[in-house]
Structure 1
Amino acid sequence: MNRYQAFMKIMETGSFTKAAEELGYTQSAISQMIRALEEELSTVLFLRSRKGITLTPDAEEFLPYIKAVHYSYRELEEKRREMQGLQKGIIRIGTFSSVSSNWLPDLIRDFKARYPSVRFELHQGEYTSIAQLIKEGSVDFGFVNPDAQAVSELKTIPLQQDEMLVVVSQNHPLTCKEKISLRDLVDEAYILLDEGQLSVPLEFFKRENLHPNVQYRVHDDYTIMSMIESGLGISILPKLIISRSPYCIATLELSPPIVRTISLAFKNKKVLPIASRYFMDFIVERYGRTS
């Protein structure tokens, strides 16, 4: 299995030398592993040039299968370590910024108070990329919006609903209005939070046959709030992320309100590492709808 691990590490680092350093092998040993894998697959996997390492067309075709073998073996190793006790577990989570900045710090702190040796890997993304990470086994589970199409093949546990608020600069004329509708926003420069294939605000604009004036598409909530503070436009963001905003901005409630659901998503809880199963239960206990 070392040759699959070497392949994945070379892809991650873009270098045979860096892969060898991180895995604790000599560069010669890494090269031998890749040659053995190439012989097994009867093809060449990497092309070297002055610009670095690139995959061959054959390697691109084999990539999903190599990933599957690599992640399956990693799950097998996790299961073996699980037999040695929960204390040695690694919990891999796909998450987006509002959850990772508001929920996860306290959850991790309290969970580690019970299980001090458990380690965490947080993979930041949006609904679509998080769903893909779960499907391919890069993470054990993740936080998603269950309405996203990419999540449809996964099992989900709803946690909480999160209201979406209009965010404007503090001196914006809209702050004088008692009620804000989507129609009030269509002429404003709109800063869109890139959430993958699903944008909750855009879905609601579409339902009302409205077209926002999207001037910017941004991946980070905090960058959007900074841009709004500078008067570059307005946006609609989740209340959860705004609750800890350090920016001088104003928030307005929509009428009718827009709400997103935050859920846990996973493939098969029964085969997850025990530490991840325990942490999922811990999350549901803390933030589940019945809590």
Structure 2
Amino acid sequence: MNRLLVIEAILQTNSFTKAAELLGYTQSSVSQMVASLEKEFNIQILKRSRNGVQLTPEGKELYPFIIQTIRQYQALKETASSIRGLKTGTVKIGAITSVSCYWLPDLFKEFQAEYPDIEFVLQQGDYGMILNWLKNGVIDFGLMTADYGEGFHKHIIHTTQMKAFLPLGHPLAKLDRIPIEKLADDPFILVEGGGYSEPLEAFSNAGVKPNVKYRIQDDYTIMAMVEAGLGISMLSELVFSRTNFNVVSKPVEPAVERPVAVVYRDKQTLPIASQYFIEFLIKNRKRLM
């Protein structure tokens, strides 16, 4: 099992040296374990290049099974822990920026007050990245829209509003609610959704096409660009609550919503710690409103 964990660490850090530091081994030991595994299977799994470490074509075929074996072993250990009471474990989450910034810090703090030895690994990304991490076993579950991603189990925990974000002094900032068609003419800064976009879906439903000038993944970069007068945008209401940007946020007409859900493949095969945290999220979903 240690050899498989070494392979995972090397690919996560893109370095034999960093993987050794992460796992507490010498670099020589890491190299020997990789060589031993490759000799056992008679397959080269990793190759080094100027860009770091990559899987060989044969390694790419093996890697999903390596990850599956690691996750099953972790689930085995955590099941044993759960028999004694939840003591240790790792919760691996993928989340969109607004959720990871606004909700998760307080939830982590509360959960660890009860289970202090539980570790969290949080990956931030767009919808496409989160779904890809789920498919490859990089994360246990995602926190993202329920409207995108086929073949996954989804449990909606809250519905947030998508609002228009405008520079100070923009003519539309005087309105209480902004008709979506009025957002189509200005330069539009689109939050990159990785395959799905609530704003684009809303524009399409309204029969108008936005003047998209920028596609940015980070919500806070978008707000900085709106503040600088580079355009307008539509973002989750959550991002406005913890920001000092000099921008205006107004509801859109008709309302544009994002149903935020816990998304996973099979809850029964998740690590025990992740099952506990999902139950904790569902139990506390009313506090997210």
Same fold (TM over 0.5): yes
8 Å contact from structure 1 (residues 82, 89) kept in 2: no
Percent of aligned positions that are identical? 40
Could you list the structure 1 runs, at least 4 aligned residues long, displaced by more than 4 angstroms after superposition: 288-291
* Matched ranges for 1:55-94 at <5 A: 55-94=55-94
Name the structure 2 match of 1:206. 204
2:239 maps to which of 241, 262, 282: 241
Cα distance in 2, alignment partners of residues 51 and 198 from structure 1: 30
Name the structure 2 match of 1:111. 111
What displacement does 1:265 show? 1.4
Which stretch of the first structure deviates more once superposed, 43-52 or 24-33? 43-52
For residues 1-49 of structure 1, what are the alpha-carbon distances to aligned partners after superposition, in whole Å with 9 as ceiling and x for unaligned? 2221111112122222222222222333222221222123322223334
Q: Tell me the SS of whatever aligns to 1:86.
A: coil
Q: Tell me the SS of whatever aligns to 1:87.
A: coil
Question: Gaps (5+ residues) in structure 1?
Answer: none
Name the structure 2 match of 1:262. 260
Measured at CA, do residues 243 and 61 of structure 1 come closer, stay the same or move farther in structure 2, by a change above 3 Å? same
* Matched ranges for 1:158-169 at <5 A: 158-169=156-167
What displacement does 1:51 show? 4.7
Cα distance in 1, alignment partners of residues 50 and 273 from structure 2: 43
Name the structure 2 match of 1:146. 146
Question: Gaps (5+ residues) in structure 2?
Answer: none
8 Å contact from structure 2 (residues 103, 288) kept in 1: no
8 Å contact from structure 2 (residues 74, 271) kept in 1: no
What displacement does 1:165 show? 0.7
8 Å contact from structure 1 (residues 194, 219) kept in 2: yes
For residues 144-188 of structure 1, what are the alpha-carbon distances to aligned partners after superposition, in whole Å with 9 as ceiling and x for unaligned? 21111x2x2111111111111110011112123454222211211
Measured at CA, do residues 160 and 49 of structure 1 come closer, stay the same or move farther in structure 2, by a change above 3 Å? closer
Name the structure 2 match of 1:191. 189
What displacement does 1:233 show? 0.5
Name the structure 2 match of 1:11. 11
Name the structure 1 match of 2:277. 279
Q: TM-score, normalised by structure 2?
A: 0.91
For residues 107-156 of structure 1, what are the alpha-carbon distances to aligned partners after superposition, in whole Å with 9 as ceiling and x for unaligned? 122222222232222121222222332333322222121111x2x21111
Cα distance in 1, alignment partners of residues 97 and 112 from structure 2: 21
RMSD: 2.2
Q: TM-score, normalised by structure 1?
A: 0.90
